[in-house]
Amino acid sequence: MKQRLRTIKSLSLLSYLNNMMPFKCVAGAWTLSLLCMLSVSATAGSLEQAKQLHDRIAGVAASQATIENMAALLDDGKPIEAAYLAMETPAFYSTTLKLFATPWTNIDQDIFAPLNDYSATVIGAVRDDVDFREILQADMVYVGKNSLNLPAYNRNNNDHYQALEDQFIDLKEGLERTTQSSLNGLPSSATAGVLTSRAAAKEFFYLGTNRAMFRFTLMNHLCTDLEPLKDNTRPTDRIRQDVSRSPGGDSRLFINNCSSCHSGMDPLAQAFAYYQYEFNLDQDPSGENGAIVYNTSGQTDPDTGTRVQGKYHINASSFPYGFVTPNDDWQNYWREGPNQKLGWDSGLPGQGSGAKSLGQELANSNAFAQCQVKKVFKSVCLRDAESQADIAQINATTASFKQNAYQLKRVFAEVGNYCMGE
């Protein structure tokens, strides 16, 4: 009797399993039916993983065909290829990458700021698998294609990019690369990727002393601010005149606070000595209609008598014996001391002239490579690294990023696969 009951239960379960299959699964025995069920479960798991991977990367729902194709690649042991398929979705460019890059373009780090030549160039460089180090040193900018009905690029406003956004242009298809020097009047030797974009100039060369450009480049592309880099063991010989040596009458404040930042920052920010953001302060105090300008060879600034912009000599009476900037020669004092931790490239000299060579110095540091991976991790995983496993993944992906010609899509693919099961 017990044997008969077991047989009836087995047959009932077999009938149930066969009826519940999403496709016809013919089997003449319990073992084969179980294997068939496990096969269906595996397929369902791959579909769910594919959906999660696509959502993480593109931020929108995928078509059923895309999910199935991604699941097939996952089942075939090709997770990177599956992630690249997700990046074919236009939303990866118009949404994920725009939100990814936009905070770097403004002092407030607002993710909802309008598209501009800085963010468009980042998006285009990722799309085209450009060596990502080029964003800090190349003569390049991405604009809307000529075939689109857009206002022409104008070095004095953002209308071209605003129209791209207002018309909901597909940024995957609508952008093309050109030379920055052909549009903004800078010589090619003075271009430095997004550092000399109009958007960056408007935010970081606006008034001030051009130190903001250096500070926000550290924040956006090396993932550090000045505070963690304070080092009062570096020489103070390149600190400008506008920094008091006894603020509030107390020289200890200079020694313990001011010099620990300025001793390293000022000789590096000297690379921007010939740049300015020019606009009419009385008629346009926010600087919405202005352009980046650069003192070329032979030009003389009336305030300095050299090519150096007048802003580098302001407040000279704060400490008249301070450094008087004569040119755009920069030097990296942080190659020695505790800030060697940024991982400077030993194949570079650590000094040079102008923004392009400084961009090369920064982009070839280990901190630059790791920073891009950390930012992708937060964008895709929706959180910062929290565990030893997360840190190990960031280190492994940083090494892979370098080995794979600094292609950022590869970073999105690897990090997406790491986080897709969360």
pLDDT tens by residue, 55-111: 999 999 999 999 999 999 999 999 999 999 999 999 999 999 999 999 999 999 999
Q: Specify whether 11 is located in the same domain as 85.
A: yes
Q: How far apart are CA 393 and CA 398, in angstroms?
A: 8
Q: What is the pLDDT of residues 375-420, one digit of tens each?
A: 999 999 999 999 999 999 999 999 999 999 999 999 999 999 999 8
What pLDDT, on the 0 to 100 scale, is given for residue 44? Answer: 52
Is a pLDDT exceeding 80 seen at residue 6? no
pTM: 0.89
Q: What is the pLDDT of residues 141-187, one digit of tens each?
A: 999 999 999 999 999 999 999 999 999 999 999 999 999 999 999 99
Short-list 364, 417, 415, 307, CA closest to 82: 417
Query: How many residues are listed for the chain in this entry?
Result: 422
Boundary of a domain, candidates 55, 89, 123: 89
Q: Where are the alpha helices (DSSP H) in 59-155?
A: 64-75, 79-86, 91, 98-101, 117-127
Q: What is the pLDDT of residues 124-153, one digit of tens each?
A: 999 999 999 999 999 999 999 999 999 999
What pLDDT, on the 0 to 100 scale, is given for residue 43? Answer: 53
User: 256: domain range?
Assistant: 207-364
What is the number of structural domains in the chain? 4
What pLDDT, on the 0 to 100 scale, is given for residue 270? Answer: 98
Q: Specify whether 241 is located in the same domain as 336.
A: yes
Q: Specify whether 196 is located in the same domain as 285.
A: no
Q: How far apart are CA 160 and CA 402, in angstroms?
A: 34
Q: Specify whether 139 is located in the same domain as 195.
A: yes
Q: Specify whether 135 is located in the same domain as 227.
A: no
Quote the mean pLDDT of the chain. 91
Q: What is the pLDDT of residues 228-276, one digit of tens each?
A: 999 999 999 999 999 999 998 888 899 888 999 999 999 999 999 999 9
Q: What is the pLDDT of residues 14-50, one digit of tens each?
A: 333 333 333 333 333 333 333 333 333 345 589 999 9
Q: Specify whether 227 is located in the same domain as 353.
A: yes
Q: Work out whether the CA dihedral 26, 32, 33, 38 comes out positive or negative.
A: negative
Nearest 10 degrees: Cα torsion 212, 330, 325, 141: -50
Boundary of a domain, candidates 52, 74, 89: 89
